[in-house]
Amino acid sequence: MVFLLSDEIIFPNPLLADKNGLLAVGGDLNIDRLLLAYSMGIFPWFNPSEDILWWASPYRPIYTPGKIHLSKSLKQTIRKHNFEIRVDTNFKEVINYCGSIARNGQEGTWISDEIINTYQILFDIGYLHTVEVYLENKLVGGLYGISLGKAFFGESMFHLMPNTSKIALFALSELLKNKGFHFIDSQVTNPHGLRMGAHEVTNVKFDRMVKEAMKYDDDIGKWDFNLGNLRELIK
C-alpha cells in the first residue's frame, strides 16, 4: 500500500512499499526528513509538477566498494588521458549538469530548483558529496550522492565526454573502499550499472544492510581524493 505523509517527520517501514517500490506520497523536502529517508533506504523521485513520491524498490542494485568492473576500453581511456579527480569542490556545476539529463523512462528531469537548493544544504552541512572528473582543468563528468553511516546513496551522474561518469563511479568506489564503506546504492537497476558490477539484492536484504551500515558514525564534512593518479589504481 502507499502511505500519505503528514507534517510529522516519520516514514512507514520501507518493506511495505507496493510492488513497484512506491512507499509514500507527500511530506516535504525538509533536511531532517530527507536524512531520515536515506537512513531507512528510502529515496525521493518525482516530477516537479507532482506531489513528492518516496520509493523503496523491491530489488535494489548495489555496488561493492572497490569492485567496479572496468572494461578494457575504459582502462585504455584512463591510460590515454590525464584525468584529474576532485571531490566536493563543485557541487553547483555537477548538479546542474545532472539536471540537464533525464532519467530512463522519464520526460525532462526531476532535479528542480527546489531539489538543487535543498541538496545544496546537504552539501554545505557535509552529508552530500560530489566526485568530479576533470580534463585539462575542465569538468567533463561527475556524480553526487548522500553519505550516511557506512552507506553511500548515489543520486545522479553525468558525462560530457564518453565514459567519464563511469570514471567518476570508479573513483568513488575506490575512495569508499579506502573509507571502509559497505555499499553504494544505485536506486534503480539498469543495464549500464549491471555491466559496471552492480548486483541486485532483495528489499529484505537491503533493509538489513542499511540498518547495519547506520550503526557507524556519519563521515560528515568535505572529502578529499587522496588515492593518487587514476592510472595507478587500474594496474
Cα–Cα distance for residue pair 57/78, rounded to 1 Å: 33
Domain residue extents for the chain: 3-57, 61-233
Q: Would you identify the CATH topology of the domain 3-57?
A: Alpha-Beta Plaits (3.30.70)
- Compute the distance between CA of residue 47 and CA of residue 148 in angstroms, rounded to an integer: 25
Note whether 108 and 99 are within 8 A (CB): no
Q: Would you call 2 exposed, middle or buried from its count of C-beta atoms within 10 A (0-12, 13-18, 19+)?
A: middle
Q: Which fold has domain 61-233?
A: Aminopeptidase (3.40.630)
Q: Which of 75, 223, 84 is nearest to 140 (CA)?
A: 84
Give the pLDDT mean for 76-87: 95
Given its phi and psi angles, is residue 159 left (phi above 0), alpha (psi -120 to 50 degrees) or beta? beta
On whether the CB atoms of residues 57 and 23 are closer than 8 A, the answer is no
Residue 85 pLDDT greater than 90, yes or no: yes
3-state secondary structure of 199: strand
* 234: pLDDT strictly greater than 80: yes
Q: Mean per-residue pLDDT for 122-150?
A: 98
Task: Please tell me the predicted confidence (pLDDT) of residue 100.
Answer: 87
Mean pLDDT of the chain, nearest integer: 94
Q: Is the pLDDT of residue 107 over 60?
A: no
108 CB neighbour count, 10 Å cutoff: 12
Q: Above pLDDT 70, what percent of the chain?
A: 96
Q: Which three cell numbers stand for residue 140?
A: 567533463
Question: Residue 24: beta bridge partners?
Answer: 3, 54
pTM for the model stands at 0.95
